Chains A and B, each alone.
Chain A
Amino acid sequence: MAKIGIDLGTTNSLAVLYKDGQAVRIINTLGSYITPSAVSADDDDRILVGEAAKDRLISHPDRSTSEFKRNMGLRKTVELAGVEYTPEELSSLILKKLKADSEAFLGEPVEEAIISVPAYFDDNSRRATRVAADLSGLKVERLINEPSAAALAYLNKNGYEDGTYMVVDFGGGTLDVSVVDVFENIIEILAVSGNNKLGGKDFNEAIAKNFCSKNGLIYEELSSVEKAVIYRNAERAKIELSQIPMVMIEVPLEQDKYVLTLTNKDLISISKDIFAGIRDPIRKAIHDSRKKLEEIDQVILVGGSCKMPTVRDYIRQITGITPDTSIDPDTAIAEGAAIFAAMKNKDLKDVILTDICPFTLGIAVNNDILNDGSLMMSPIIPRNNTLPSSIKRSFSAVRENQDKVNVQVYQGENINPDNNLYLGNLEISCPPTKRNAKICDVKMTYDINGILIVDVTTADGQVATKAFRSNSSVLTDEELESIRKKMEDAILVSAEDEKYKALIARAERIYEESFADQRQVITGFLMNFKAQISRGDPIKVRETYKALSELLDNLEY
């Protein structure tokens, strides 16, 4: 039984199997190894996942969604075909598809996987990812941090050469920076920093907004279809700028045609904030690793956004090191996750990865100076501590004859607990204790599977323990069961159907982006194709399929 590595990305997802020293990319039903992280409901309320859904973002923005990874762990739902979906449910659809594709490609059942998450994912987001895996029927023993996975992929390719590396993983929606020390086949993650709200999407948005302001349009007042068209063109312009020095964005809206030329220099000046946002995590990671900038031997770039020459150049300039881009930025993370799966299976015995906890974990304590009932954060496990770790601290009573302790557990760097993530609480009664006398010991243990265990020991030796398990989510078992049922009810488009759906979605998307004369041609071909499908003649369907896809290829490039 195969154990695969999955990169569940903001924009794209993919699965890789590491077998006999080789990373095998899993090809999906549409013949590509990349599956866009998009979900859409078709006209019959069936669920489409992947390429087809991505195209339908433009033609049917109201019935499609993507980028839900950004909301993982938040209670933000999306309505598709009358059903509310949470981010973890949408992610489980992607995982389900990856699982099905892997099984079809490998010809064997796939039940276990290692999923990569941004290092800066907080505990809720990690729980949500595990819930998604659970819903899709995959057993996920461990999550791996994306920059750690990227480092693994790079090192596996380059022979685990000793040195200090900085991995910058700049994907569609998240930025992670980690500093890694490698020696004697040990990969030691020293520090992780990042911004889970910064990614390539922000460039698209900046370009789209710039396009509107230059053309006298007001971005906020456009319809969702118009926004999506501009957005798609902005994204394409961004990608093309990686190859050529100047691009022209042409967008037909209603009867008018709007145009903007864009160079890399323009891109830099309109997205200053994004570049500034890249700089801070880099600085923080180097600082936290207690290394000097000069001690970094190599900078490794992964993630789709690192394909942009502006981003590469920016990192080259601020660090003074020409980054290594030899590994495929799209697949590195999934490969790393697959290698990690192999390591766990003892297929790769002599390589060890030691990871860290990127957050500070602590409890809220009473603010006894002001004594106004406000709380402060008292850190117990500091950030960037090697996993597993356990640390014990003592606390004292705040009231005379206090006979109860309420330990509230938080995760985050802010002094004010309200600004940190609340994980849960633990109450224990104890013998009456005088004010300022020691009342209890709090021991926190954070193990390698991301399970936080808090032990509170009172003076009379009473112990209360609570595990904050990432895999037993915020949801109860019944809730989980009902979600599972709901997800089973959602009818997925079959693999055979999917190809056709994808083509129709693509045709509809190109239709939206085209001018009047081209639209007529597309309509003709599309109607013909649809008619053949409904008649069900396989040969005719294949013919019209070929004709339509050739037409679209010509129109698009």
Chain B
Amino acid sequence: MEIFWDTLGLKPTTDISRIRKAYSKLVKLHPPEDNEEEFKRINSAYKAATKFARQFSAMGVTDDQIEIVDRREDGSFGVKILTPDGKPFVPPPFPLQNTAPGQASKDLVKQVEDPLFDFESIDSSVVTALTSDELNNMSGFISLVPGYNVPDSQLARQIKKYLYEDLGAVDTLAKPSKPETINEDVEKAIAVASSILTDSRFTGEKLLWSVYFTSPLVSSMFTSLTFYRRLEDVINKASLEPKYIFVIADASPFRPRAYVMNDKPVGRIDFLSKVPFRYERGKYPELERLLIREDPVQVSKLMDFLSKVPMNLYGILMPYFRPDIKAALEDATFAFNYILTSPDCKEMKENELMWLLFFEGRLIKPIVKDANLHTMITKRTMELKLSKAQLTIMKNAMPKPVKSKVRRKKEDKDWYYLEIKIKEALFKKKEVKDFLTFLIVAILFGIYLYFFSPFKPA
């Protein structure tokens, strides 16, 4: 089956202008008015090629470095990036250097001479410059629900509707909190929680609570003790059924336990009992969430490391809402390559906590069961010839999928596939091979000695 470059009559390329030239030539031969099917085919090839080119040209890949591998019947294929000296390809830090959000447009506004609009005197809520920051934020909350691996389920839609229409909470939750408004924001978040608690339809809905806890507002506030104390108060006052309390506790990023006494839940949720306080609080809020149960020595090592690496890697672990799984997967690939190949990460490659962090990171967690991610990781680990220790660490850190009793799902299959691959990889290690060869030779020699030796004992 042909792939998009074939449709455009091109070799694999990262040069957008070449793609556009080819597309333009084809479209002029088949304008949309004349042949709709043909145009649809050309247009979708053009879009795919452009997307590929954007991604890889940003990494500095040139045309002759791309090689298509593993062409399949369904039109999918793999791409191998060749480097001149045969070394593994190291992608540049991710994401590529950007100006701070909003900065560029604000500068532009300054250049405007003699403005009619006096931004200071007129209601600033109406007359403010558009910033890139703002544009990027728009997709945040809207895409939250699809990020949870339930892109189009009834439940996801139901929850969306509830948050958008019944509660009108979207505006409240969609913006991250700022230090100067933290007190108001705590109240807002608590108000939303109270509404959810009083609506019998949704109190026990885990997905809704996950959305709540991971919304930009709440996740940006979770270093606030006030917020969690208030939340505990509200939950305890609501006198919920125990099963609901478990649901909320499960959804919370702090992984707290609902207290159980004599097999009866007492309905208290202690979010804070295990949060370590010895770090500079708020510096890496996302880490604090992840590391509550870990070894402090390793944690401080990791903290040191993260303070040195470019912010980019840290960005992977932060709340990072992308419109779809594919985009998240792209970012995950970047991060994975970076950790494995960048000299910055030399030590950290073998740090178990690092891998735990990677797989638990907000970006990767929702897609960790995605078969493509597994395939990507397997391929990459084999390419890079990792040490046994490292592979074991990675394997341990990778979350185990839930085994379904009824029927084995596709993800499970992929998981087993991965395990086998990792075992194969272990087996193929040179040392192992050499050792086996040695063993066989030794045995053969022994046999030879035993049967044919001139020194055969009498």
Please give the residue numbers on chain A whose beta carbons come within 8 Å of chain B beta carbons, in ascending order. 183-186, 264-265, 268-269, 272-273, 275-276, 279, 282-284, 286-287, 292-294, 309-310, 313-314, 316-322, 344, 349-350, 352, 354, 365, 367-370, 376-378, 386-390, 415-416, 447-448
Task: Evaluate contact between A282 and B158: CB separation under 8 angstroms.
Answer: no
Q: B282 contacts the other chain (Cβ, under 8 Å)?
A: no
**A349 surroundings in chain B (CB, below 8 A):** 28
Task: Evaluate contact between B158 and A320: CB separation under 8 angstroms.
Answer: no
Task: Evaluate contact between A354 and B127: CB separation under 8 angstroms.
Answer: no
A469 to B168, CA, bound (A): 36
A317 to B104, CA, bound (A): 13
Task: Evaluate contact between B165 and A416: CB separation under 8 angstroms.
Answer: yes
Q: B149 contacts the other chain (Cβ, under 8 Å)?
A: no
A185 to B21, CA, bound (A): 10
Task: Evaluate contact between A368 and B154: CB separation under 8 angstroms.
Answer: yes
With contacts A186-B23, A317-B109, A369-B154 known, is A354 near B129, CB below 8 A?
A: no
Task: Evaluate contact between B116 and A318: CB separation under 8 angstroms.
Answer: no
Q: Which residue of B lies closest to A387 (CB)?
A: B32
Task: Evaluate contact between B117 and A268: CB separation under 8 angstroms.
Answer: yes
Q: Which residue of B lies closest to A354 (CB)?
A: B32
With contacts A352-B27, A370-B201, A376-B161 known, is A390 near B40, CB below 8 A?
A: yes
Task: Evaluate contact between B132 and A294: CB separation under 8 angstroms.
Answer: yes
**B23 surroundings in chain A (CB, below 8 A):** 184, 186
Task: Evaluate contact between A185 and B105: CB separation under 8 angstroms.
Answer: no
Q: Count residues on chain B whose CB falls below 8 Å from chain A CBs.
A: 52
A to B CB contacts below 8 Å, 16 in the list: A185-B28, A186-B27, A272-B126, A275-B126, A276-B126, A286-B130, A293-B104, A310-B117, A317-B129, A320-B105, A322-B112, A352-B28, A388-B36, A388-B40, A390-B40, A416-B165
**A370 surroundings in chain B (CB, below 8 A):** 158, 201
The 9 A-B residue pairs whose C-beta atoms are closest, nearest first, are A320-B108, A184-B24, A313-B116, A388-B36, A415-B161, A183-B20, A276-B126, A272-B126, A369-B158
Please give the distance in Å from A98's CB to the nearest CB on chain B: 25
With contacts A264-B116, A314-B117, A370-B158 known, is A389 near B130, CB below 8 A?
A: no
Task: Evaluate contact between A272 and B158: CB separation under 8 angstroms.
Answer: no
**A376 surroundings in chain B (CB, below 8 A):** 154, 157-158, 161
A415 to B157, CA, bound (A): 7
Please give the distance in Å from B394's CB to the nearest CB on chain A: 34
With contacts A275-B126, A293-B135, A319-B130 known, is A313 near B117, CB below 8 A?
A: yes
**A276 surroundings in chain B (CB, below 8 A):** 125-126
Task: Evaluate contact between B138 and A283: CB separation under 8 angstroms.
Answer: yes
Task: Evaluate contact between A275 and B104: CB separation under 8 angstroms.
Answer: no
Say whether chain B's binding surface is mostly helix, strand, loop, or mixed: helix
Task: Evaluate contact between A320 and B129: CB separation under 8 angstroms.
Answer: yes
Within 8 A of A (CB), among B238-278: none
Task: Evaluate contact between A287 and B135: CB separation under 8 angstroms.
Answer: yes
Task: Evaluate contact between B132 and A313: CB separation under 8 angstroms.
Answer: no
**B24 surroundings in chain A (CB, below 8 A):** 183-186, 352
Write the B117-128 contact mask toward A (1 if CB under 8 angstroms, else 0).
111001101111
Q: B344 contacts the other chain (Cβ, under 8 Å)?
A: no
Q: B404 contacts the other chain (Cβ, under 8 Å)?
A: no
Extra A-B contacts (13), CB below 8 Å, given A284-B138, A388-B40, A415-B161: A268-B127, A279-B130, A283-B135, A287-B139, A293-B105, A294-B132, A314-B127, A317-B115, A317-B127, A317-B129, A320-B111, A344-B33, A376-B158
Residue of B32, B116, B155, B157 with most partner-chain A CB within 10 A = B116
